Chains A and B, each alone.
Chain A
Amino acid sequence: MKTMIMILFILILTISTVYATKDATEMNINGVKVIFKPAQNDVVAVNLFVRGGCANLTPETAGIENFALQVATTSGTKKFPKDEYSSILDKLVSTISSRSSNDYSVLSIRCVRENFSKTWELFEDIILNPAFDESEVNLTREKLISAIKTEDTNPDALVRKEMVKWYFDGHPYSNRWIGTTQNVEKFTTDELLNYYKQLIVKSRMLLVVVGKLNKKDIEKKVNALFAKLPVGNYKETPLTVPVKSQETNYTIVEKPLPTNYVMGQYLLPSMNQPDYYAALLAHSILRDRMFEEVRTKRNLSYAPAAVMITEKTSTGFIYVSTTDPDSAIKVMVGELAKLKTETISEKEMKNHKMRFLTMDYMRQETNAMQAGALAAAELYAGSWKNAAKLVDLIDRVTAEEIKIMANKYITNLNFVYVGKRKKVDEELLKWK
């Protein structure tokens, strides 16, 4: 019944609670930080993070990292040619996959404990000796082009894409990890392989393993892999502030759709900044208020939302699909304004802290989610141990701190509107 918009706008990494860190340990293996957390169930989740993400890309190379990793994880190796590789994975019911995002890419394993050793053997070979077969490159190319082209036919995907283009103009995130059809069409097999080789270096890496596994065995396996990898010279560089975040503006994409899609984005604190937890709780409250004010009371939309995206450059957005954009926008920006002017009641704070706890525990249910939570704290707050403090830090947030955060951050709003231009009063998109 409730929209799945929260899932559609995937929070890049989930955040965590004490459950994520319980019994977790840290190792330094051959120069790479490895976080290991024993689990109770039989599923194993391994995530090898490669730092950089869109900051590694330029307008001309946008898409290359995602493309290279997709080819690497599907084309097999010299030792395990593609068919054999796919067949073994099917037999083991294991997956080896990759995912790219704004701040990093990740190579992942999901398998059952009994099949971990064999899956790791394939994983190691993929990292060290990917086949990069020409025919696989071309098949992947066609799939990616198809995906990029169809993006524009899904209004939710289109409004997100247009927002990235608009809001992050001049910022590394504007070099979208999925790339453009022009770029994906032109990358050669050699370019992809060379990119892959310079990407897969230890200075970029963070490894997280969650599973019912023997720690010594992991150490041994990981050590054998990292001993064969170059160190590289990756240095993390701070990202610039998006220019658009300093002004209020909007853009309209005319599309004759049955309903209209509106997204308003603004800058928020990153996980390593003091206002972060106030922003996180504020967005849990805001999400609820949007639902109640836009949907329940005024039936203006099936799918109103307010989301915080935790990234190196964290942002928040309000979103709605509606046939009455003017009324919906007025209510939504009104709710944003209330965060700045009204003090949230004690009761509302208490209730949301409780709900936050529920959502947080739900995000701890799978080992993959736990691995994501540990990595988020490490990559964005500087230490995976910070994950354990989340519930406590949320609990300490005061209504006053939310008001301060809102006044400090939610100052400029940039709108993207996809739909019928004549349906919206453009003055409403110039919110200040």
Chain B
Amino acid sequence: MEKNCSARTLRTLITGIGGLVFLFACEMAKGGTSQAAKPSQSPQSSQTPPGDLTQVSIENLMNMEISSASKKEQRISRTAAAVFVLTQEDIRRSGMTTLPDVLRLVPGLEVAQINANNWAVTSRGFNGRFADKLLVLIDGRSLYSPEFAGVFWQVQDLMLEDIDRIEVICGPGATLWGANAVTGVVNILTKKAKDTPGGLFTAGGGIQERGFTGARYGAPHGDKLDYRLYGNYFDRGEFQNVAGRAAGDNWDGVRSGFRIDAQTTSKDSLILEGDIYRDAANSQNHVATFTPPFNTTPLTQTTSLGGDVLGRWTRTYSPLSEFSLQMYYDSLSRDDVVVNADLHVFDIDFQDHLSRGPRHDFIWGGNYRTTTDSVSAIGSVSLSPASLRTNLASIFLQDEIVIVPNRLWFTPGIRFEHSPFTGLNVEPSGRLLWSVSKNQSLWVSAAQADRTPQRFERGLHDITAVIPGPGGSLTSVDLLGSPSAGDEQMLDFEAGYRAQVTKLVSVDLSTFYDHYKDLQTREPGSPFFLANPVPHVVVPLFYANEMHGTGYGGEFSIAWKPAVFWKLDAGYSFLHQVFQLNPGSQDPSSLLSAGDSPRNQFQLRSQFNLPHRTEFDTSVFCVGRLPDQSVPAYTRFDLRLGWHPLESLDFDLIGQNLLAPSHLEFLNNTGLVPSYVTRGAFVRLTWRISH
């Protein structure tokens, strides 16, 4: 309910959803009463209740969590953390086309688009292009960059139709997921190959989404193995620059991949999956040079070429105990105007889940990751040394203890992690869940999570600006890595409540109080003289950890199914953070940027099934202003009209950002020139060919 939820929003909404909904609702109410207890041979053609699950295999039905009004899986009701789950249905009906945009649907996540192909995504503050306290994984593969921290959202253009669900935890998840899962964890899980048999073809285009296409084919091979292959391509249009003209930041990408699921024995299952992709994205970046005009913002192309392959073996000993071993290799070569960076990650991970007696449910595991990178400076950014291999190792143990059966659980856990630059991190957590009744639970938790320094904090040399002085002398402001850059730490206390109020309404509330210490700052050092590439004086800023602070806030979500054909989701989040520099620190800029998040965010989504196999979905996102960046509050309004004339065919008409011709979401601080997000509208065709 930020300031920007304007009268215009109201008008659009009421005339849009309201009118249609009301008419249809009256109709349904009439039909509903006359239908009662009367023998009826044929289904009501005017009604297409959601959730035809007959195409789901019986085995998968058995794995499905039974929910009522809430789309959330019921096992969430046993998790003592702020968890939110997005389903494939939520994703499909949102009309969103990129992974970061899909995350807007999660209350508490802060998603801001910087330009057409860059996003800033975080949870509970500290946003930025390289927001470094949110850990994101796809099927257990970490997307967190060990070179620059954060996620390159640009290259995460997987086929959204392949996603089974996205589980998001706001708050620390370091005990289970490791360092850098400080303020949140996003876990993207793709569908099993068994669940994607047959062919799928999508294509569409319009304004902003200039053209996209995707194809998938899945089939069983024998009775123990299923596979799928996919390929997709997109071409997205440009946003507007500050002058209201085309910003030139259009981009395109192509991606292909596979997933194989095999049940080798009754106890063993294997997963093998991989992707290969290439993206070319245009953007304007600040570049500092020692020749006039010194500081420019050229429009250049960033190309990314990457691939990954992941294998996982799971052995199930009993319904309550299993062992899994996972390995992946991930490679990304990214060339932009200032730096060419190559990255190779090899990761091996095992987890053992076992119940001991009626009271203990242990999960423990270990992880080893080796990262090799090489960075060649072509512009003003370099890393020292230019190539480095680092290793990370960790072990963790968590036990879910039943204190009172079916009532009270206590889950202590701890992780020991040896990070490449700062050595041992200890990340403990304790969570207590009280199941007040069958339908409601209360939880509290305390946890510590660390963000460990990545490559750039130790070895960066970034010439951020060159200032010409009298007599041809040159001074540059350089951001430098420092051997003393250390861990950032957060101590987190949370409490939450969730309830299935009726069969049709569920609510989830989480609140937190955080204490941060040793937060990253950039401290000025004594100027020095450098002879290369031209003689100049360097005013250095060194990475340090000279800030601390506190924060509190909460997330609230409510899911409501007013009728069989209608689902509503609303979410609200609040965040307030206060930071202070340690005595001796001389970096006021970090003080401002660290706390620069919207205080209030609100969203309302409606999924409505209309007669004649049509769906009408709308969503509103109200995002508060960013005070330090002077980015005003904005309201995003999206609309989707879906029609599926045949079981195998869907047509969608999608409008995005419909309220204003353009708006700004983020002014970043990483050398990228931001653009104004513009309206988009496109059509999408989805054709399923059954196997």
Are the chains A and B members of one assembly? no
> Which B residues contact A (CB, under 8 angstroms)?
none
> Which A residues contact B (CB, under 8 angstroms)?
none
